């Protein structure tokens, strides 16, 4: 008979993700996460969905029953509080703003959406919530850029598929994610400041309290998300970095993807660019927008508010696109003539072509 509660009821670690906590519980019982939680919750599909981004209430209730935690404690393990603070009325299907996509197919992860700090994992932190936020690129405690793949084989972290009962092991090559590894070059100080600003907007306490976040313009998190989207255009991004005196973009960065689908190196560059663009407000913003030839059309259909929206309104309106919709009836008439009288169709078609050339 299966007991109502787990034999080892572990306590969550600070800022730990629900998926990380459930994996640790399974490993503590000497089992794999998939098999262990299938035993307790046979009718619930946990690992075929992103349970950190959105989880049914039934799963939360079952976790409360078996772990002994309260519902608020289990809910706080998910990204629901951060989603509510960053974007109002965020929809769960598809891409959730500011939450990195895992690209789950069956139980495998196709995208590199689970970031980690090797030093933090070596200290036993588990996978924490801020590492799933798209504007987070580095660990301020160890002052290093995060990784989003195994340093040995390049596979996305998927601890729920581990055969080795260790959270920091790679499910593909079984190497340790906590092993020392080289990371991307350090972004500028302004990029770290922008990361702290958005972490504060998400309700996450930064590891370092700084006052430099006040140097950025006031605006909602959705406004900053719109700026990331606009600068995500490769041509605009390259011109803007040149106007701000930043190094050029690597060849692999010249592609347009959603912020939530980008690898950590690409997002670090994007955040560094936007941070430099906004740091000396509004002078740097105006110069960068002018030299990168931005217009209001770049920000069409994007959410903007506050002083950022006022500055965007000062930009040139841009060229309006005009689309002419042609009726399909003439084409249908020509096809009908072709079916009825082929010779007459060829003669009329030849006359029409000659007329169009004169």
Residue 183 has pLDDT above 80, yes or no: no
* 144: three-class secondary structure by DSSP: strand
Residue 177 has pLDDT above 70, yes or no: yes
- The helix or strand, by DSSP H or E, that contains position 3, with its residue range, turns out to be none
The band of 214, judged by pLDDT with boundaries at 50, 70 and 90, is: low
Angstrom distance (rounded) from CA 164 to CA 318: 57
Measured torsion, CA atoms of residues 150, 156, 162, 164, in degrees rounded to the nearest 10: 0
In this prediction, residue 36 carries a pLDDT of: 93
The band of 354, judged by pLDDT with boundaries at 50, 70 and 90, is: confident
- The candidate with the shortest Cα–Cα distance to 215, out of 186, 231, 194, is 194
* Residues 312-335 pLDDT 10s: 999 999 887 666 666 556 667 767
* Residues 154-171 pLDDT 10s: 999 999 999 999 999 999
Q: Which residue has the tokens 């050029």?
A: 248
Summary mean pLDDT of the chain: 89
> What pTM did the predictor assign?
0.86
* Residues 38-57 pLDDT 10s: 999 988 888 999 999 988 89
* Residues 201-210 pLDDT 10s: 998 876 554 5
The band of 344, judged by pLDDT with boundaries at 50, 70 and 90, is: confident
Two tokens, residue 132: 């799933």
209, 294 Cβ separation under 8 angstroms: no
Residue 345 has pLDDT above 60, yes or no: yes
Two tokens, residue 298: 């770049």
The band of 92, judged by pLDDT with boundaries at 50, 70 and 90, is: very low
Q: At what angle do helices 342-357 and 329-340 cross, to 10 degrees?
A: 140
10, 28 Cβ separation under 8 angstroms: yes
203, 82 Cβ separation under 8 angstroms: yes
Residue 7 has pLDDT above 70, yes or no: yes
Q: Name the H helices within the chain.
A: 18-28, 33-40, 57-67, 71-75, 80-86, 118-122, 189-201, 221-231, 234-243, 264-279, 283-291, 306-312, 329-340, 342-357
Percent of the chain with pLDDT over 70: 91
* Residues 240-263 pLDDT 10s: 999 999 999 887 666 788 999 999
């Amino acid at each position: 008979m299966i007991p109502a509660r787990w034999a080892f009821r572990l306590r969550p670690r600070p800022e730990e993700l629900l998926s990380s906590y459930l994996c640790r519980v399974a490993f503590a019982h000497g089992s794999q996460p998939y098999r262990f939680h299938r035993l307790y919750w046979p009718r619930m599909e946990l690992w075929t969905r992103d349970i950190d981004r959105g989880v049914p209430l039934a799963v939360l209730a079952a976790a409360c029953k078996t772990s002994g935690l309260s519902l608020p404690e289990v809910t706080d393990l998910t990204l629901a509080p951060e989603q509510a603070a960053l974007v109002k009325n965020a929809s769960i299907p598809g891409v959730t703003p500011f939450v990195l996509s895992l690209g789950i197919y069956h139980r495998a992860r196709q995208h590199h959406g689970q970031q980690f700090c090797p030093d933090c994992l070596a200290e036993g932190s588990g996978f924490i919530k801020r590492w799933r936020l798209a504007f987070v690129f580095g660990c301020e405690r160890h002052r290093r850029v995060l990784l989003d793949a195994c340093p040995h084989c390049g596979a996305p972290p998927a601890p729920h598929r581990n055969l080795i009962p260790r959270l920091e092991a790679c499910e593909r090559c079984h190497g340790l994610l906590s092993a020392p590894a080289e990371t991307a070059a350090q972004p500028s100080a302004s990029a770290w400041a922008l990361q702290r600003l958005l972490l504060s907007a998400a309700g996450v306490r930064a590891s370092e309290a700084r006052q430099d976040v006040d140097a950025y313009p006031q605006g909602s998190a959705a406004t900053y998300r719109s700026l990331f989207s606009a600068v995500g255009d490769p041509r605009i991004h390259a011109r803007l970095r040149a106007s701000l005196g930043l190094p050029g973009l690597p060849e692999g960065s010249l592609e347009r993807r959603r912020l939530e689908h980008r690898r950590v190196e690409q997002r670090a560059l994007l955040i560094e660019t936007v941070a430099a663009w906004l740091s000396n407000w509004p002078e740097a913003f105006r110069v960068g927008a002018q030299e990168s030839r931005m217009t209001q059309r770049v920000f069409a259909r994007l959410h903007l508010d506050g002083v950022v929206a006022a500055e965007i309104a000062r930009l040139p309106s841009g060229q309006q696109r005009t689309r002419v919709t042609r009726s399909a009836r003439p084409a249908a008439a020509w096809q009908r003539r072709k079916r009825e009288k082929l010779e007459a169709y060829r003669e009329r078609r030849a006359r029409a072509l000659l007329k169009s050339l004169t």
